[in-house]
Structure 1
């Protein structure tokens, strides 16, 4: 069972997210256990402060190293396995599906949600193993980012989705965007489902999905194709589309 510990000043923010939908199901089937810890409880400051003014002056407050070092060390001591310590930070590496797949193989994740102006640099350089950013923008704190990472990782754990093939076929898991989906009715206001996926010919259906996945990526995220491992058939499709432009 995976253990996810989330260090935050606002643990109540996670109540609805961790107790709903797939994340709750994952906990119910004991694929994961969550703990949200207010790291203010680890501070040695008599006023319960976890931040201070930055040396050298400047706007805002900086999170002090002591509470977070003590909290992480305590959680590591309690863990029976090695821990990945993740700092949610706009300066971190851009988060990807591949990173989610990597983290889903771990037994213990510790996520640090910051607030205020930033972190004491010693937290970055001597405490964490990973710095993650969910996008090129700044949030009030790391809580929303931690929710995103938790959701994307937990849904990959065995048995959580009910169908283990679902996660494998998601957008980005193959390096490309996912193909279009259709359901009943076959004809909705004159908009018809492609005949090929109604044919029952699974070989043709698989080829159609492969081609449409590549087409959607080519049209919407051509940057992904540069690093994708393409078959000769996929390369030929790309060549034909480029010639038709």
Structure 2
């Protein structure tokens, strides 16, 4: 791959740029190289526990220069979704402070009363309890629609994975007997269109780089944006044929981004 093949490069974070508190091989060097060549960079994460400002601070602590406008997160995308589609919603949030922070920036209305909620927004909640499950279930049984920040069942961490948003969302779905209404995060078409709007580029001039076939690579497929799978996170090379989700490129880590031969897919 040649750097001038694309005008804009979009990077997932967990498993692509960093893992835990460690930056992954080649990440800083690749990002610096793109900046030196005046390429547009956008960080696209499904993380439901981080604001854009929080991601910015985390990246800067790892030596990566970035502005908040170069970051899209799960809570920010969900706030955009509600602002554009359900601006008058009363939202019962199952999730952490990042969601509420971003929703307050958009002046969206949240409620602690499940009986008055029009929607239940589900993100990762690391203090999720049986009582919270019952309250969310009550809201949905009373007519609220389930919106999910991201469809990730797990999240990569050093040494393995931890459970993520979709495990909680499916519990609420099963308990309530009502299907999930919408997922706003990757690989949704809503997320893909926001990427193009944020970067102001044509689809064929943009590349998505990520470590998950079912989110990062499918995002590209659904949005008609080319993709590169990086093997530094969740996915393994053998998963490609097993899941039948084919990226345009496959690389070991970001050290290889501009040296890997295009895959014959």
Structures share fold, TM-score greater than 0.5: no
Higher relative contact order (CA 8 A, sep 6+): 2
Larger radius of gyration: 1
